Amino acid sequence: MTAFFIATSQIKDPQKFARYGQQAASTLSEFQGELVIKGKFSEALAGTAEHDAVGVIKFPTMDALQDWYKSDNYQALIPLREEAVNMSISTYAVPA
């Protein structure tokens, strides 16, 4: 069952955010994670949005996603992430 990690971000420090993104991307391959999209917010067509950017990462399974998120390499990046952005993170599973 394919799983997606979706992060919406309010950027506090663009330089730190760029560094976080580069370092986080380097942790994905071990867990077969694939960056699907990263982009800047354009407009809300319905409802409201309070974020500046979005990132979507695809994993082959929810277990792989969870293992990546809990990995020592990714956990070590959380302090940098918290300095760089206010981030909301959600996970989604694609039913088989």
Per residue in 34-85, pLDDT (tens digit) is 999 999 999 999 999 989 999 999 999 999 999 999 999 999 999 999 999 9
pLDDT digits (tens, 9 = 90+) for 23-43: 999 999 999 999 999 999 999
Q: Which domains are assigned to the chain? A: 3-41+50-93 (3.30.70.100)
Residue 15 has pLDDT above 80, yes or no: yes
- Comparing CA positions, the residue from 73, 70, 83 lying closest to residue 18 is 83
Roughly how many angstroms between the first and final C-alpha of the chain, as a whole number?
Answer: 6
Q: Residue 38 has which token pair?
A: 């990263």
pTM over 0.75? The answer is yes
**pLDDT (0 to 100) of residue 95:** 86
Q: Are 53 and 14 spatial neighbours (Cβ–Cβ below 8 Å)?
A: no
Which residues, including other chains, have CB under 8 Å from residue 32's CB and lie 6 or more apart? Answer: 59, 60, 64
Measured in whole angstroms, the distance separating CA 55 from the mean position of its chain's CA atoms is 5
